[in-house]
Amino acid sequence: MHRITLGLIINPLAGIGGPAALKGSDGADTVAKAQIAGAVSQVVARVTRALQPLGEVADGISWKTCSGNMGQALLSDQQFPDIEVVYVTQDAASSSATDTRRAVQQLQASGIDLLIFAGGDGTARDIYDVSSPGLVVLGIPCGVKMHSGVFARHLQGIAPLVKELLASRLVTATAGEVRDIDEQALRESVVNSRFYGELLVPESLRYVQHTKVAGREVEALVVEEIAADFIDSMQVDCTYFIGSGTTMARVMSGLNLTYTLLGVDVIKNSQLVQLDANEQQLHQLALSRSCSIAMTVIGGQGHLFGRGNQQFSARVIEAVGAQNIDVLATKSKLEGLAGEPFIVDTSDPSLDKKLTGLIKVRTGYEDAVFYRVIAQP
């Protein structure tokens, strides 16, 4: 079993406004009114119920969290063996939106696979406001308002997903909406829901039905759908480095472009810029414009970088940016790895470390999963 690094942020006052009929818990004044009314937050009990089943796999989890009641206290009470505090709250007796935002930044910088948070829509907004591309989150529903699509449907849904990720099984990657309702307007019976953005969220694995026959993927059809999904997502004026392999060849043929089956081709605005580019050419392009790497994984081996695509050197990847790497593969190919993670071997240990964790993989049209990446042992 591989290890997984989880971040945990608890909003200890989440949901406190509900019992007091305050339509939310945002703001110090609302919290004070709820406390005067005798309301007590149920967040500790709810988070405990959600995380308790993870005690069975505790040895495979490294926790990174905040001091006191924003995470450390609960994890210690649950006797998880590996807990690291990466953010100390400003006030040991309470927490604020500022604490949440700073904690998210610290957790991302420290390196986590998944951020679990306990709160409501306000907490989700705080996380979204400071999140970096690629942050994967899963909310434990504890707030009054939970209109965002980043929360588990129920408390018992948290642990199974974490166990799936820990076992390197396929988990669907979806974009969850971050929404919030104006609490003051709601108190006046006006519902004003606002969309703020999206965060990556894991879900139980699902298959797109028309890509399956007798319960199995039709490989050729799925590759067509993956290529179409990628083509439809391409950004104007972005330069794409298209890696080798038959999946990437289908992208090029879908654009009616000549391609190099075992090389790296460069395209921009659906036009060919460079056929069979070398490392130096890619590096010069990456230094001078916005670029993205699109690639597949070597079937049966699981290497992303370092095998058969040395054109993607460490300096090329650094110049492009890890957040601009797009991996395309069928679920069948991923399942063929038998739970073994992707491997990166760029000859730069510090870059390899940056590339580890969970990566989103396109596996169909508007369909994706998370997959684990490790550095070459």
Over the stretch 24-38, which tens digit does the pLDDT of each residue have? 445 455 544 444 444
Least confident of 24-33, 155-164, 262-271, 277-286: 24-33
pLDDT tier, 14 (very low <50, low <70, confident <90, very high otherwise): confident
Query: What does residue 344 show for φ and ψ, rounded to 5 degrees?
Result: -115, 135
Angle between helices 97-110 and 121-130 in degrees, nearest 10: 50
Q: Is a pLDDT exceeding 80 seen at residue 88?
A: yes
Residue 230 is inside which H or E element, if any? helix 219-233
pLDDT above 90 covers a percentage of the chain that reads 59
The rounded distance, in Å, linking the Cα atoms of 307 and 322 is: 18
Averaged pLDDT for residues 84-96: 84
Amino acid found at 142: C
Task: Enumerate the domain spans of the chain.
Answer: 4-203, 211-375
pLDDT above 70 covers a percentage of the chain that reads 84
Give the pLDDT score at 92: 65
Give the pLDDT score at 184: 52
Length reported for the chain: 377
Give the pLDDT score at 147: 81
Widest Cα–Cα separation across the chain: 71
pLDDT in tens, 285-298: 999 999 999 999 97
Q: Is a pLDDT exceeding 80 seen at residue 238?
A: yes
Give the pLDDT score at 144: 66
Give the pLDDT score at 298: 78
Average pLDDT, the chain: 86
pTM of the predicted structure, to 2 decimals: 0.80
The bridge status of strand 291-295 relative to strand 239-242 is parallel
Give the pLDDT score at 360: 93
State whether CATH 3.40.50.980 applies to domain 4-203: no
Q: Is 177 helix (H, G, I), strand (E, B) or coil?
A: strand
Give the pLDDT score at 145: 62
Half-sphere exposure (Cβ direction) of 291: Cα atoms closer than 13 Å = 24
The rounded distance, in Å, linking the Cα atoms of 310 and 348 is: 13
Give the pLDDT score at 153: 84
Query: What does residue 94 show for φ and ψ, rounded to 5 degrees?
Result: -155, 180
CA dist 259 → 83, 193, 286, 295 (Å): 49, 47, 20, 14
The rounded distance, in Å, linking the Cα atoms of 31 and 41 is: 10
Q: Is a pLDDT exceeding 80 seen at residue 21?
A: no
Instruction: Check if the beta carbon of residue 6 is closer than 8 Å to that of residue 357.
Output: no
Give the pLDDT score at 211: 42
Least confident of 55-69, 204-218, 302-316: 204-218
Averaged pLDDT for residues 328-348: 91
Averaged pLDDT for residues 245-265: 94
| Contact partners, residue 206, CB within 8 Å, separation at least 6 | 172, 367
Q: Is a pLDDT exceeding 90 seen at residue 19?
A: no
The rounded distance, in Å, linking the Cα atoms of 249 and 226 is: 12
Q: Is a pLDDT exceeding 70 seen at residue 116?
A: yes
Amino acid found at 85: V
Averaged pLDDT for residues 299-309: 84
25: number of Cβ within 10 Å = 27
| Contact partners, residue 29, CB within 8 Å, separation at least 6 | none
The rounded distance, in Å, linking the Cα atoms of 76 and 279 is: 49
